[in-house]
Structure 1
Amino acid sequence: MSNSYAQPILRTANLSEGLRIVEQLLGIADTSELEIDVDVQVSSTPSLSTLMELLPNADWWAKGDSDGSKEYGDDPTAHLPIRMRGWAMSPDIVEPFIKSLGDSPAAVRWDFEGWPEAPEVGLGYGGSRGSFVTLCVNARDLDLEKPATDHTVFVHVKQVEAKRAPWLATQVGLTVIGDLEMAPY
C-alpha cells in the first residue's frame, strides 16, 4: 500500500461550507464503495467519553511523555492527551463524530473507488489507490499538528497524477491553496 498525496483546496471557518465542498467532490467520484476513516487528538475527559462511546473499536495511543495505548489494555483517561483513529466505518459516522469534537483537532477521510477521468489534463480514471477527500476540523494539516479555529479540505491523488488535484479543485469552483504533500496514512 502506498501513501496518497494531498493538496488543500479550501480553508474556512464555516464547517458547513467544508462539508458542502466534500459532498460536491463525492458527487463526481465513484463512491460505489465508500468508507470513512477518522483521526482525532483528545485532551479532555468529557470529549474522550463521548468519542469512546461513538468509536468503541478505535485504536488509541498516548501523546507526549506517556506511553499508554489500547494495545496494552490501558485506561485512556489516565493517559490524556491521546490520539484516536478509527478505520473503515460507515458514512453515517461523520455527523455524530464531528458533533462530538468540540475544539479537538480531527480529520475525516472519505475513501472511495476512484476519481473520474480528467481528459483536460490528460488523465484517465483514477482508481481507488490515492482517491480520498479529507476534511481537517480544527486543524490546518493532515497530521493534526497545527490546531486552528478553521477547517481545511484536502483532495488526495496519486503522486504521478498530481495534475488531478488542481483539476478537482476547479470542478468545485476552487483552486489549490497549498503544496501537494505526502499524506500520513
Structure 2
Amino acid sequence: MAAMSNSYAQPILRTADLSECLRVVERLLRIADLQDLEVDFEVLISSAHVLTPLLKLFPDAEWWAEGGRSGSSAKGDDPLTHLPVRLRSWAAPVEDVGPFLDALGSSPATVRWDFMGWPEAPEVGLGAGGARGAFVTLCVNVRDLELEEPATDHTVFVHVKQIEAERAPWLAGQVGQQVIGDLVMAPY
C-alpha cells in the first residue's frame, strides 16, 4: 500500500448528477499541478455483477471481507465467496475512472485524484501548495470519505493541508462552488 499522509477534506458540491460532479472535478484538475497524477479507488461491493468487472479492471486490487468476517486478497481468498467486500486500488491511471464508475451500479465508492499541488491563492495569503493535501475526491453513492453513509447522490471534496484550511473555500470559488460542510480529516 502506498504511504499516505492525512489531508483535510471539505465538500464543495453534492448532487444526484454524476456528470456535474465530474465537470467540477475536471475544472479543479485544470488549476492543479497535475505532475505525477494518479487515481485511487475504493468501493464497498455486495454483488458479483459489480465485483467481476472491477476485478478485471484492477486485477491486483487489495480487498477484504466486511462486517468482521475473514477473507482477503492478502490470504489469496476468492472475493466472490466473501461478499460484501471492500476493494481498493492505488495509483491507477486516470483512464480507469470511466470504467470504474460504469461498473459501480449503486455501490458506495470513492475516486481520489492525487497530484503534485494546488496553485497559489494570493487572495487568502497562500503560496502554491505541495503534494501533501493536494487531492480531489468524488464520493459516489455515499456522503462521506469512509463509505459509511450510503446516499442516492454524490459529493465532491477538495483536500488541503489543515494549516491551509482557507484554501478549500478559495478552491471552491475558483470552480463556481462554495464549501457546503465542515473540514474533516481524510481517512488516508
Q: TM-score range by the shorter chain?
A: over 0.9
Q: Does the alignment pair 1:117 with 2:120?
A: yes
> Which residue does 1:163 correspond to in 2?
166
Query: Cα offset for 1:77?
Result: 1.0
What SS does the corresponding residue of 2:115 show, helix, strand or coil? strand
What SS does the corresponding residue of 1:2 show, helix, strand or coil? coil
Distance in 1, matches of 2:175 and 2:44, equals 29
Deviations 1:112-164 (A, max 9, x none): 01000001001000011110000001011000111111000000000010000
> Which residue does 2:74 correspond to in 1?
71
Query: Aligned AA for 2:73?
Result: K
> Which residue does 1:134 correspond to in 2?
137
> Which residue does 1:83 correspond to in 2?
86
Unmatched runs of 5 consecutive residues or more in structure 1: none
Q: Does the alignment pair 1:144 with 2:147?
A: yes
Distance in 2, matches of 1:60 and 1:33, equals 25
Q: Does the alignment pair 1:102 with 2:78?
A: no
Query: Aligned AA for 1:36?
Result: V
RMSD: 0.7
What SS does the corresponding residue of 1:125 show, helix, strand or coil? coil
Percent identity (aligned): 68
Query: Cα offset for 1:65?
Result: 3.2
Deviations 1:21-75 (A, max 9, x none): 0000000000122000000000001111111111101000000031110001111
What SS does the corresponding residue of 2:70 show, helix, strand or coil? coil
Unmatched runs of 5 consecutive residues or more in structure 2: none
> Which residue does 2:42 correspond to in 1?
39
Distance in 2, matches of 1:119 and 1:5, equals 20
Distance in 2, matches of 1:91 and 1:115, equals 18
How many equivalent residue pairs?
Answer: 185
Query: Cα offset for 1:78?
Result: 1.1
Distance in 2, matches of 1:93 and 1:49, equals 15
> Which residue does 2:186 correspond to in 1?
183
Structure in which a larger fraction of residues adopt strand: 1
Query: Cα offset for 1:2?
Result: 2.5
> Which residue does 1:154 correspond to in 2?
157
What SS does the corresponding residue of 2:13 show, helix, strand or coil? strand
Distance in 2, matches of 1:94 and 1:131, equals 18
Distance in 2, matches of 1:104 and 1:33, equals 28
Distance in 2, matches of 1:180 and 1:46, equals 35
> Which residue does 1:17 correspond to in 2?
20
Deviations 1:54-104 (A, max 9, x none): 110100000003111000111111111000000001100000000000000
